[in-house]
Structure 1
């Protein structure tokens, strides 16, 4: 007795499922410059590593016990390997009912999130559809409406605090699909072929009278700097490369250490350019990214959210092969001051590093929270306090390299000054409650108003303050632990990272403050 007949039937049904939405729908999908769902999975994962679950699930029509038609579910999931490491992947098939939930098998999406949580594996979502209720035709078919429930959302929320979650927006993604993209540690869009919105153009036109195309409403020109998406790329293959790189810095779950690689870069490398990279003229900006490249392992920097909160640069890099997160100020963007956007960016990034035990290097040139009427209207102080709270609540090792300015509440909040978070300052350091230039006019307002020559008095006061503001005087008073030669930054950080990773095992596990999207 053999079960070969049943296995043969199983294989035939799998072949039906592999046809996705049919040849016509698949070709229409590809004509828009998009890969189909199975091509995406194949290109992203290591070769021949995808193990699919529920492949033959779908909508079947029977007549007199005979199968007359079959439409596969428009959501695929399973496990595979990414650079040798096991992951869970869930992907929408736009060729079947446009990726909408009423063309799916809801249990498959739930199982993918549950699998990632229970097996403690990273999860990758390839999102290409609404993922919500789909068409209102559902009401006519079913004969009743329903109270909305976000499927698997309990696991979606839990996973944010347990495993790395990556989401790629690979088409016109609306409603719950858009929420699945945003509910991640790292999200990405593709130029020209991806759009993201709460509701699509037709609903927006009907609801609020805005007649917009998909690109105008939710294309990359909208979301490059909206904060809804982290990175934007030019192709799906580039998106897959970003996914691989992002995950390479993180452990598979919060119970493991970040993966350390063998570095070919000299840990004692001293870049001569660092001694002169900061201008003596404090009003002159400089480029921060070349500085980061001179300090971290070569070709190891992965920036996130470049165009959102641009005054703050965030991302991952390596020190002697060890993954680290970094914060840095970009003086070319609003002087590097803390805006609402940069505060949100800091809060989210620090929370992510803390969740996955990635030590943080903070390169500080912080003039403080932005000021003015618009900043007050936007509640900048509250956002700033939230960012500072994230830094103070973080238990992961953190080190501060003061490049230039540290002023006010914002500057003070860039490091937990009450903990043993090491600080090094470059000789270009300049700090205080207020910048001297503006602070003199506030502190000596009455004297300046009473003076016959206020400009001369202002210049005299500024000259007197110039010597007092020397960072060497601060070091004499032990207000800063150590002023270093900028060229020594990499060797010192590589020594610090050894200590940081030696201490990390005692911090493994989930945090009481679970990360939110």
Structure 2
């Protein structure tokens, strides 16, 4: 007895599934500059590693004799594969079948992908291209009734945020639940021109709120480059896959494992001469932070996230002697580097992610504090600032603060947990206090200045007197700052610290006390 006939039937059905939505739909999809779902999976994963689950699931039509007349594969593919040798789960929409909507789906496949990532404790990558939600209202005709909406597998979506790395890629016109699946992630990426993301598409928006917009105007990259809904924007799908691979390279497969350490060919003791003069003596002059980071971290190891959202704060991953770390840094070219609502949200989310996956954090501080003014007050900046500070104080991962220049007010004070060991080094350019001296003199000596016959001369006299008092060496004399260092020594000292940090990490493994939210 042989099962050859059944195996042949299996292979036939697998071949049918490979045809996706049919030749015409596939060609229309490609004409829009997009890869098919199967091309995407094979370009993302290491060659030959994809193992598909549920390949032959779909919608079949049978005649009165039980013979199958037609078959349309489900518009969601799932399976496992490898990224840089490490196993992952992939769930991907097929837009060639009903535009990736629910009425062309078998929802159990999407649910299964989330369960698979959770129970096998593997990273999950969602390649999203469609709505993934309730589909067209026409579907109700077939369904015969309406329903109370439930987001499929959302309990696992939430659980996975605290367990395994989650990536969302926006690869087409993504709306509703599809948009939620992209953003319910630790890292999201979007492709220019071919991808848009919105809660509801242009027709619904036009009907509901009277805004007549194209897909690109409503949810293109010009909207989401700085909206905070998407982390990174790229020019092609292949570049999106490159970002995904790089993002995952810094993270463990789950919260029970250590971040992956690689061999570094960059000297631990490298000292960049330019660091001695990179901070201007004129405190009012800005400087470029990114070249400074490149001089300190392992060469070519920096991966920035969310550059255009909350731009006064720079966040991302890098390596020190091959060890992954998260970093925060202030960019004085964007609002002086002050804490806005957006930058506070960015800090909170990023610190929580590092805490979730046990990545040590290096915080390069030039923080003038929370932004001030009427607009700032209207937006409730103080509450957002307090949330960001709370994230830093709740973090248990090793953290090192490098004070580059300013540390002022509540915002500056909250950049490290001052009640712990508070490991930190300051550069000679350090300048700190409750308020910047320049503005503080105007407030503290307001009456004297108003009463003076020559207020400008008095102001200059007071400023000169304060200049010597504000010297960081005065603070060091009182052990108010533990150590002032030559900026050129920053990398060697951080490479020494990272050894201690990774020696302590095994004690922290497991779920964080507060599960990360998107």
1:40 paired residue number: 40
2-side partners of 1:29 and 1:16: how far apart? 18
Match of 1:367 in 2: 368
**Which aligned runs of 4 or more in structure 1 are off by greater than 4 angstroms?**
none
The reply on whether 1:7 has 2:7 as its aligned counterpart is yes
The aligned residue for residue 128 of structure 2 is 127
Counterparts of residues 39-438 of structure 1 (less than 5 Å):
39-63=39-63, 64-438=65-439
Secondary structure at the aligned position of 2:329 is classed as strand
Q: Deviations over 1:485-507 (max 9, x none)?
A: 00000000000000000000000
Deviation at 1:508, TM superposition (A): 0.1
Q: Once structures 1 and 2 are overlaid, which stretch shifts more, 134-143 or 424-433?
A: 134-143
Displacement of 1:511: 1.1
SS at match of 2:248: helix
CA shift at 1:420, angstroms? 1.4
Greater Cα shift, 444-453 or 176-185: 444-453
After TM superposition, list the pairs within 5 Å mapping 1:488-507 onto structure 2.
Answer: 488-507=489-508
Unaligned runs of 5+ in 2: none
Q: CA deviation at 1:424?
A: 0.2
Question: Are residues 1:456 and 2:457 paired?
Answer: yes
CA distance in 1, matches of 2:84, 2:430: 42
**TM-score normalised by the chain length of structure 1:** 1.00
Q: Using the alignment, how far apart are the partners of 2:182 and 2:377 within structure 1? A: 31
Cα deviation digits, residues 178-222 of structure 1 (max 9, x gap): 000010000000000000000000000000000000000000000
Q: Which shows bigger deviation, 443-452 or 241-250?
A: 443-452
1:283-304 per-residue CA deviation (whole Å, 9 max, x = no partner) reads 0000000000000000000000
Shift of 1:102: 1.3
**Is the 1:397–1:421 Cα contact (8 Å) retained in structure 2?**
no
Cα contact 1:125–1:167 (8 A) shared by 2: yes
User: What secondary structure sits across from 1:95 in the alignment?
Assistant: coil
Could you say what secondary structure the match of 2:20 adopts?
coil
Q: What SS is found at the alignment partner of 1:400?
A: strand
Deviations 1:373-401 (A, max 9, x none): 00000000000000000000000000000
C-alpha separation between the residues in 2 aligned to 1:102 and 1:274?
Answer: 59
| 3-state SS of 1:383 partner | helix
After superposition, the C-alpha distances for 1:73-129 in whole angstroms (9 at most, x for unaligned) are 000000000010000000000000000011100000000000000000000000000
Distance 2:515 2:358 in 1: 13
Q: CA offsets, 1:332-370, max 9 Å, x none?
A: 000000000000000000000000000000000000000
Q: How many Å separate the matches in 2 of 1:442 and 1:70?
A: 77
The runs of 5 or more residues in structure 1 that have no matched partner are: none
C-alpha displacement of 1:421: 2.9
TM-score, normalised to structure 2's length? 1.00
Residue aligned with 1:306, SS:
coil
CA RMSD of aligned residues (A): 0.4
Q: 1: CA distance between counterparts of 2:42 and 2:195?
A: 20
**In 2, distance between residues paired with 1:278 and 1:473?**
20
Cα pair 1:187 1:230 within 8 Å, conserved: yes
Could you tell me how far apart the structure 1 residues matched to 2:461 and 2:310 are? 38
